[in-house]
């Protein structure tokens, strides 16, 4: 018996470049003309593998890696099907986190069949030390849970840690909140699935009167920022979420 589509529906697709809402998967954005080839041309090189840490400038101190390792181990133990990469780098000025995360996650070549399989449930956290912003991009397999409401809400809850303690403590706190919120969401989805299977339905997606699942609202939240700069932090920027890859980024 298949699950009702409302439980696992990934929602609408958003353009990684202009963030316009698209009605379906398309090869070219009808608003800005963005295509996958646009990213290939904009970033004409092969990105490094998606290891746990990607830190080309060795910006992470040993103690910071220890903090992040502990938080990542705890999260991946709770959700063993999910793998996480923390990428810390200085992106060129004007680089859009939506495009960069989309390109990196899709362009980085898996090194073996197992890694290719797990890529669908991979989560890429990009810390841009140039713009002092944090972006999160997820694979297609996580869209049904980490949607354009759930993911930015969890980032927003950790915003205070990002601003006052920097991106290392911010990511650790965010993973802690994500573990709690994701566990609750999965429990609710499982309960809805079990209830639907017990009652059954004559047609896929039909529920007895009064039992339809609520539709998913869409909202804009504020992006957490790393404020290790000496100058006052500017006002936070809107967060944007793609229907196929979820990203919180500085505009």
**Spans of all domains in the chain:** 5-199
220: which 2 tokens?
């804009």
Compute the mean pLDDT over every residue in the chain, rounded to the nearest whole number. Answer: 74
Provide the CATH topology of domain 5-199: Diaminopimelate Epimerase; Chain A, domain 1 (3.10.310)
Q: Which residues contact 244 (CB under 8 A, 6 or more apart)?
A: 10, 13, 14, 25, 140, 143
Cα–Cα distance measured from residue 163 to residue 226, given in angstroms and rounded to the nearest whole number: 5
For tokens 């354009």, what's the residue? Answer: 148
The pLDDT score that the predictor gives to residue 26 is 73
- Higher-confidence residue of 84 and 212: namely 84
- Higher-confidence residue of 190 and 77: namely 77
The pLDDT score that the predictor gives to residue 223 is 43
Cβ atoms within 10 Å of 243's Cβ, excluding its own: 19
Give the CA distances from residue 192 to residues 114, 136, 215, in Å, rounded to whole numbers and listed in that order.
31, 28, 14
Q: Which residues contact 81 (CB under 8 A, 6 or more apart)?
A: 118, 121
- Per-residue pLDDT tens digits for 72-101: 999 999 999 999 999 999 998 888 877 898
137 φ, ψ to 5°? -120, 135
2-11, 34-43, 91-100, 197-206: range with highest mean pLDDT: 91-100
Cβ atoms within 10 Å of 151's Cβ, excluding its own: 26
Share of the chain above pLDDT 70, in %: 66
Strands (DSSP E) contained in 62-195 are: 83-89, 122-128, 133-138
Residue 232 DSSP label: P
Cα–Cα distance measured from residue 145 to residue 142, given in angstroms and rounded to the nearest whole number: 6
Give which of 176, 170, 161, 155 is closest to 249, Cα–Cα. Answer: 155
């Amino acid at each position: 018996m298949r699950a009702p589509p409302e439980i696992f529906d990934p929602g609408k697709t958003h353009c990684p470049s202009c963030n316009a809402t698209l009605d379906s998967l398309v090869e070219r954005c009808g608003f800005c003309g963005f295509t996958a080839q646009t990213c290939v041309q904009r970033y004409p090189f092969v990105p490094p593998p998606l290891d746990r840490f990607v830190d080309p400038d060795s910006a992470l101190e040993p103690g910071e890696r220890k903090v992040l390792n502990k938080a990542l181990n705890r999260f991946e133990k709770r959700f063993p099907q999910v793998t996480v990469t923390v990428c810390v780098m200085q992106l060129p000025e004007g680089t859009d986190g939506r495009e960069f995360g989309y390109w990196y996650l899709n362009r980085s070549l898996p090194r073996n069949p197992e890694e290719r399989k797990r890529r669908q449930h991979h989560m890429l956290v990009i810390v841009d030390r140039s713009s002092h912003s944090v972006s999160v991009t997820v694979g297609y397999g996580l869209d049904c849970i980490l949607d354009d409401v759930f993911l930015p809400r969890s980032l927003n809850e950790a915003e205070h840690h990002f601003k006052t303690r920097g991106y290392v403590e911010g990511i650790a706190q965010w993973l802690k909140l994500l573990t709690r919120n994701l566990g609750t969401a999965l429990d609710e989805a499982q309960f809805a699935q079990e209830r639907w299977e017990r009652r059954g339905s004559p047609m896929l997606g039909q529920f007895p009167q009064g039992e339809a699942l609520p539709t998913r609202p869409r909202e804009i939240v504020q992006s957490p920022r790393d404020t290790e700069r000496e100058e006052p932090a500017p006002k936070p920027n809107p967060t944007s979420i793609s229907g196929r890859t979820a990203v919180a980024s500085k505009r």
